[in-house]
Amino acid sequence: MRIAIAGLVHETNTFSPFPTTYTDFGDFKGGPVLRGADVLAKTPPLFSLHGFADAARKAGDDPVPVYHSLAQSSGRLTRGCYERLLEELLGALRAAGPFDAVFLELHGAMVAEHIADADAETARRVRKLVGADVPIVTTLDLHGNTSAEFIEAVDGTVGYQTYPHTDMYATGARAHGLLRARVAAGAPLARGYVAVPFLMPIYLQSTDTEPGRTIYDRLRELEAECPPGTFLTVMMGFSPADVPHCHPSVFGFGPEAGPLEDALAGLERVILEAEHAFRVDLPDSVSAVQTALAAGDGGRTVLADVQDNPGGGSPSDSPQILETLRKLAVPRAVVGVVFDPQSAQAAHEAGVGATLRLGIGGKHLPGHEPFEAEAEVMGLHDGPFPLEGPMLAGGELDLGRMAHVRVGGISVVLSSRRSWYIERACFAAVGAVPEDYPLIVVKSTNHYRADFAGIADRVIEFAEPAGVPMDPTSVPYRHLRPGTRLYGHGPVFGGRR
């Protein structure tokens, strides 16, 4: 089979202060949109499209890279941005076609200002271009807000089963297996969809901890009990999105409708039984730091500033944790990554060894003020650096001009580009080696666990006001489906399709 390989990836936080325009899209390192051979040559090797392409080659298929574009999590795509991206994607497919099948790497939580369910619209427009007889399969992030309309628009889709997302490559290979099952069937597979009736706060979605571990273990058990060629997915959803389909979901594709429906019902039961575990209970930064200091065992603590996660659309510059560390006279800590191009630029101009007055962070959200301090420049970096963590090993990341500055015993890692997928290399690039600190603060909701948790004696999550609210009851939703429970409150909706 000649299979198109393409991608259009965005996780939309409709409450983010950053609107998403065309210039925000490009490749993972901040370069231009990828076309042709660059789609595979310049994307991180553990992305799902590589897993799909490698599996396709092994099966004797011909994967043809066509188009790929992504943007950092941020606000709604403008109308002009989305329409231009779709025009480019469809134009690339048209120019390189015809194809026997299409693979799309999507996120599942894209929202444009004129289209609430942008991933479903993307699938519909690709379908209109290639026709009803060309199978379309996709991969989705675990945080997709997947609708029944999306499931109807594709021939198959599979989502990540890990958060942190250490199975992206494997998910791509699963998508190729799903495509092969669809082709072998000679007709559309049976499909099923269940809307889960409550929101799951993102910090509670880790599959390394409960209840996520049990939910995904049960997914794999149920899938193994189904006829061969059955593929199940649990989407935990992305709650900072004010759209009707903002909720978790369970769906699948397979050769037999009966076993598929039974498996989905079993998954639904497991999730509903765990609803109580998705209630938010987070300390503020003062309580979190005091808990870390009180341990008194000489161990290393990772503190997660879960609401200031750039991977969810936050500025990654809230200053509260810096104020707390100073207030509590913490003798030694490192904080990162703080998005502050102005301070990073000032540090570069001053040079290593210089001391200068900085107003760190606090520049993007109402009510925030910069952290004012005398800072010593300890290290500088500009440009890409290699990634070594479990999520993206073998790739590179470019955070622009970076700086390591020290305020007393507090080290701060600054960047000029807001980016997700935090790992230790983001600190080490400027000489702030995390293992050298008893207290490490990461601006991340869960991805830090893949690379940081292994060096931590304890992990403490905390919440200060920022751009990715964890408590759904604090969010001014206007467009949720009526009856959606904010982790346990209100009536039930639902319905299997």
- Per-residue pLDDT tens digits for 290-342: 999 999 888 999 999 999 999 999 999 999 999 999 999 999 999 999 999 99
Statement: residue 497 has pLDDT above 90:
no
Here the contacts of 397-401 (C-beta below 8 Å, separation 24 or greater) are: 397/28, 397/29, 397/421, 397/425, 397/426, 398/29, 398/30, 399/337, 399/426, 399/429, 400/30, 400/341, 400/344, 401/341, 401/344, 401/345, 401/348
Residue (of 412, 476, 470) closest to 440 by Cα position: 412
Residue-wise DSSP of 306-342: GGG-GGGT--S---HHHHHHHHTT-SSEEEEEEE-HH
% of the chain residues with pLDDT over 70: 98
Structure confidence by residue, pLDDT tens digits, 184-243? 999 999 999 999 999 999 999 999 999 999 999 999 999 999 999 999 999 999 999 999
Residue (of 189, 160, 162, 187) closest to 175 by Cα position: 160
Which tokens in the block code for residue 27? Answer: 């490749």
Question: How much is the pLDDT for 487?
Answer: 77
**Reduced to 3 DSSP states, what percent helix, strand and coil does the chain have, rounded to the nearest 5?**
35, 25, 40
| pLDDT, the chain, mean | 95
Statement: residue 488 has pLDDT above 80:
no
Which tokens in the block code for residue 9? Answer: 């990836």
Structure confidence by residue, pLDDT tens digits, 392-413? 999 999 999 999 999 999 999 9
What average pLDDT does the segment 88-97 reach?
98
Residue (of 197, 205, 234, 242) closest to 12 by Cα position: 242
Query: Is pLDDT larger for residue 85 or for residue 487?
Result: 85
Task: Kindly tell me the burial class for residue 280, based on how many C-beta atoms sit within 10 Å of its own C-beta (0-12, 13-18, 19 or more).
Answer: middle
Domain extents in the chain: 2-277, 285-470
Give the bridge partners for 193, in sequence order.
251
What average pLDDT does the segment 462-466 reach?
97
Statement: residue 143 has pLDDT above 70:
yes
SS3 360: strand
Structure confidence by residue, pLDDT tens digits, 19-75? 999 999 999 988 999 999 999 999 999 999 999 999 999 999 999 999 999 999 999
Residue (of 1, 117, 119, 20) closest to 71 by Cα position: 20
Question: How much is the pLDDT for 440?
Answer: 98
Structure confidence by residue, pLDDT tens digits, 407-456? 999 999 999 999 877 899 999 999 999 999 999 999 999 999 999 989 99
Question: How much is the pLDDT for 492?
Answer: 34
Amino acid at 221: E
